[in-house]
Each structure stands twice: as C-alpha cells, then as structure tokens.
C-alpha cells in the first residue's frame, strides 16, 4: 500500500526590512601585494540582513567597506520587502537589475554578501545547515590548507613549522617575493624550505599571485616554474599567469606536470564558462565573497564538475566566508579542501566559538542551522568603528 502523502508545510514569507554592513579594520592581514595592505585598510566587510521575523542572516564581502555601504544604497529599492527565504531568486533580481552599472565590481561583491546572509536566514528558518539545503552532505569534515605569504627561505621554514605545530597538515604559500624578485633560484629555495618544514606527507600548494599589479612574467616563466614545482610534489600551481590570459592558461594546463588552479578574480557564472569549456584549469577557485555568493558558487562548482574540473573555493576572507566555504564543501562531491588564512584575526577572532582543528588537522563542518556559526558582538566591535548595525535585529 502506498504511503499517504505528507501534509504540506508552508513557511510564511520572511521579509527583508534592512541590510546593514560594517567594515573590518585595524588588523587587516598583509596580502603580499605590491601595494601592500595596511592594518587600517578596509578589505573585508560583514553584512547583516534583518527581517520582519526577527531572523538575521550574516555574510561577508571581499572589498572596501565604503564600497559596500554605497552598493547597499544603490540596491536598497530592489531588496526592501523581498522574501529572505528565496536567496537565489532575490540575488538574481539584484544582479539582473544592476548589470548596467557594471557586472563584476562592487555591486556584485556586495550581492555576494547578501546572498550568503540569505542562505543563512533560510537555514535558520528551516532548522537546517546550508549544506543540506544545497542538496547533500558528502562529508562532515574537510581538510583546511593554511594559507600563508611567501617569505625568504629561512623565514618560510619557520612560518610553516609554526603552523604545522598548530596541527595543520596542508599548506599554501603565495605572493611575497616569489616571481617578483626575478630570481628563479630564490623561487626554488622558498619552495624547498616550505616542503622541508611541512614534511613529505603534507599537502603543499603554490600561488604565484599573478593578479597582482603589473605582474612581470608570462607563459615561459610559468612553464619553467611548473617544472620546478613538480620536483617538490606541489599539489597545484595557482594564479601562474595574468588573470585574463586564457589562451596561455590553456597551454599551461596541457603542458604542466602539476595541476593548474585559478579563477579567484572572476565573478558570476557567465564569466567562468569559457574557462571551463576550454579547459583552462584543473582546479577552479571562485571566491564566495566576490563571485555572487553561495548561489553563484554552487552553479559554478557543479558546472566544473560536469567538465571534470575540481572545485575548491578561494577563501582569503573572514570567518563568515570560511563558514560558507565549509557548507559548500559539504555539498559538492569533490571539494576536499578549504582555504584558511593563517593568523588572520578576521578568521580567528570574531566568532563566539572559533574554528578548531581536530586531531587529524581537519575542520568539522557546522551542522547547526544556517551557516552554523555565531558572531561575537564584543569581538567584532574590536575591528570596526561601530558594530551595532550588525546586531540591530
């Protein structure tokens, strides 16, 4: 006998009454950029979506907080009164009605934070973690790789040793003097020092950071460097070329003995399509706090999966960005790593319960409703001029 149908369950609309943001400043981590980040610079902002049901969702944006504030003013007529339980529809509405002001810039970045917050609200309203709402739970924990700036060889060895002793078993080193010192022997010495400190069994990845201003190298440098990285069992070579050099990326991927990764500066799914169709990457790395949020990230990840390209999100952002990446990692079958900035207070110092490695160097994926994490008001207040707008729900 067939089971009787389940009674329909309906959630009443939860309307957006305000969206607020704060810029994180005071201890912004160095990025290794040629125009280096200063501690007081704003490079990340937090967003809160407040609703008439008293549910507040939180998100993160990778851009200057002043630009986020301006974007929210522009987008306000489009989101006020919208149903916060429909993140994909609402976010797409914001994209569709703002494209003429420039797809991919500050508006897209701000929509990313809004979208993350809307998924957080949907999870809280349904009592489910975002990963389950995205369609699955392929894993309950995931390995973080400690993301660190490159240093001179001696300092590089010391830094890797410090974080290995803290329990990390995977590392990515990037930017800094690598490539910029125009010294191939120094590049190799840095990687050699990192591999020696990490040990033969640890995962080690290298990020050239060729999206930096006026990157000095091209395809021939990248090919030579990829061969060198293979000698140190490097897992992937990230941002090896300028971010618009799609033809060179395709050539590099075919020739390189190590996997080629990239895509962190691309935004929205449409921009990723030619890179995926042409096979420019082995590993695609959209950033959930820039690309358009969880809604966009999921679509890119599954498209990549269909092309046999692995998705591992770029996560050089905040604890809320990491929380979103963890939920996505639970819902995408081959997403077996997440990026974790080593030593950033915006990751380690703003949650009520900070992330903690288990005995194997893994992070448990939060299984509580929404993103599964809670901001600490007092901690956030230490990194912004006024935390009150985030908690005005």
Q: Does residue 372 form part of some domain?
A: no
Domain containing residue 209: 132-364
Considering the domain architecture, whether residues 262 and 154 belong to the same structural domain is answered as: yes
The beta-strand segments (E) located in 89-168 are 141-149
As a whole number of angstroms, the distance between CA 307 and CA 330 comes to 20
Considering the domain architecture, whether residues 293 and 358 belong to the same structural domain is answered as: yes
Considering the domain architecture, whether residues 167 and 115 belong to the same structural domain is answered as: no
Residue 142 near residue 329 (C-beta atoms within 8 A) = yes
Nearest Cα neighbor of 68 from 77, 80, 59 is 59
As a whole number of angstroms, the distance between CA 306 and CA 285 comes to 15
Considering the domain architecture, whether residues 51 and 144 belong to the same structural domain is answered as: no
Number of domains the chain contains = 2
Return the pLDDT at 10.
79
Q: How many CB atoms lie within 10 A of CB 12?
A: 9
Q: How many CB atoms lie within 10 A of CB 274?
A: 10
- pLDDT tens, position by position, for the chain (393 residues)? 556 665 556 789 999 999 999 999 999 999 988 899 999 999 999 999 999 999 999 999 999 999 999 999 999 999 999 999 999 999 999 999 998 888 888 999 999 999 999 999 999 999 999 999 999 899 999 999 999 999 999 999 999 999 999 999 999 999 999 999 999 999 999 999 999 999 999 999 999 999 999 999 999 999 999 999 999 999 999 999 999 999 999 999 999 999 999 999 999 999 999 999 999 999 999 999 999 999 999 999 999 999 999 999 999 999 999 999 999 999 999 999 999 999 999 999 999 999 999 999 999 999 999 999 999 999 999 999 999 999 986
Considering the domain architecture, whether residues 116 and 227 belong to the same structural domain is answered as: no
- Show the tokens assigned to 29: 């981590």
As a whole number of angstroms, the distance between CA 314 and CA 263 comes to 8
pLDDT digits (tens, 9 = 90+) for 232-262: 999 999 999 999 999 999 999 999 999 999 9
Residue 143 near residue 336 (C-beta atoms within 8 A) = yes
Nearest Cα neighbor of 373 from 324, 340, 314, 331 is 324
For residue 284, give the 3-state DSSP assignment: strand
Q: Does residue 118 form part of some domain?
A: yes
- Taking the mean position of all CA atoms in its chain, how far away is CA 283? 14
Helix 219-230 with 184-198: angle, nearest 10 deg: 30
Residue located via tokens 């049901």: 53
Which helix (H) or strand (E) is 90 found in, with range? Answer: helix 87-96
- Taking the mean position of all CA atoms in its chain, how far away is CA 245? 22
Considering the domain architecture, whether residues 123 and 153 belong to the same structural domain is answered as: no
Q: What share of the chain is helix, strand, coil (3-state, %, to 5)?
A: 40, 20, 45
Return the pLDDT at 300.
98
Considering the domain architecture, whether residues 112 and 258 belong to the same structural domain is answered as: no
Considering the domain architecture, whether residues 145 and 187 belong to the same structural domain is answered as: yes
The DSSP code for 292 is T
Q: Does residue 5 form part of some domain?
A: no
Q: Does residue 276 form part of some domain?
A: yes
Q: Does residue 2 form part of some domain?
A: no
Return the pLDDT at 177.
95
Considering the domain architecture, whether residues 290 and 350 belong to the same structural domain is answered as: yes
Residue 252 near residue 278 (C-beta atoms within 8 A) = no
Q: Does residue 305 form part of some domain?
A: yes
Nearest Cα neighbor of 217 from 255, 187, 257 is 187
As a whole number of angstroms, the distance between CA 385 and CA 45 comes to 12
Considering the domain architecture, whether residues 140 and 43 belong to the same structural domain is answered as: no
CATH number at residue 326: 3.20.20.120
Considering the domain architecture, whether residues 236 and 332 belong to the same structural domain is answered as: yes
Residue 327 near residue 319 (C-beta atoms within 8 A) = no
Return the pLDDT at 315.
95
The DSSP code for 314 is B
Please state the pTM of the whole predicted model: 0.96
Return the pLDDT at 341.
97
Return the pLDDT at 129.
98
CATH number at residue 126: 3.30.390.10
Q: Does residue 32 form part of some domain?
A: yes
- Residue 228 dihedral angles phi and psi, to the nearest 5°: -65, -40
Q: Does residue 1 form part of some domain?
A: no
Return the pLDDT at 6.
57
Considering the domain architecture, whether residues 206 and 287 belong to the same structural domain is answered as: yes
């Amino acid at each position: 006998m067939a089971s009787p149908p389940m009674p329909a369950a309906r959630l009443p609309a939860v309307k957006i009454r305000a969206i607020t943001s704060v810029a994180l400043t005071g201890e912004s981590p160095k990025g290794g950029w040629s125009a280096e980040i200063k501690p007081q610079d704003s490079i990340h902002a937090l967003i809160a979506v407040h609703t008439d049901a008293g549910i507040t969702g939180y998100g993160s944006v990778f851009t200057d907080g002043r630009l986020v504030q301006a974007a929210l003013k522009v987008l306000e007529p489009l989101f006020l009164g919208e149903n916060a339980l429909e993140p994909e529809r609402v976010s797409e509405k914001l994209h569709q009605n703002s494209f003429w002001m420039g797809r991919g810039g500050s508006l897209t970045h701000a929509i990313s934070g809004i979208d993350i917050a809307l998924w957080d609200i949907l999870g809280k309203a349904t009592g489910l973690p975002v990963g389950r709402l995205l369609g699955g739970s392929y894993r309950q924990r995931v390995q973080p790789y400690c993301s660190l700036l490159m240093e001179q060889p001696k300092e590089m060895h010391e830094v890797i040793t410090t974080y290995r002793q803290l329990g990390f078993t995977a590392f990515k080193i990037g930017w800094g003097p690598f490539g910029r010192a125009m010294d191939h022997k120094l590049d190799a010495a840095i990687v050699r020092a990192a591999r020696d400190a990490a040990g033969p069994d640890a995962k080690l990845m290298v990020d050239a950071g060729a999206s930096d201003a006026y990157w000095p190298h091209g395809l021939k440098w990248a090919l030579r460097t990829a061969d060198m990285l293979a000698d140190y069992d490097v897992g992937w070579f990230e941002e090896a070329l300028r971010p618009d050099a799609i033809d060179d990326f395709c050539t590099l991927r075919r020739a390189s003995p190590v996997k080629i990764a990239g895509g962190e500066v691309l935004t929205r799914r449409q921009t990723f399509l030619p890179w995926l169709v042409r096979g420019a990457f082995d590993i695609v790395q959209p950033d959930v706090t820039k690309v358009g949020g969880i809604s966009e990230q999921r679509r890119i990840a599954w498209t990549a999966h269909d092309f046999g390209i692995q998705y591992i999100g770029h996560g050089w952002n905040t604890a809320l960005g990491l929380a979103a990446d963890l939920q996505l990692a639970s819902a995408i079958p081959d997403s077996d790593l997440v990026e974790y900035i080593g030593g950033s207070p915006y990751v380690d110092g703003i949650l009520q319960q900070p992330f903690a490695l288990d005995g194997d160097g893994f992070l448990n994926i939060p299984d509580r409703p929404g993103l599964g994490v809670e901001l600490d008001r007092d901690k956030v207040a230490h990194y912004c001029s006024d935390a009150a707008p985030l908690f005005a729900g």
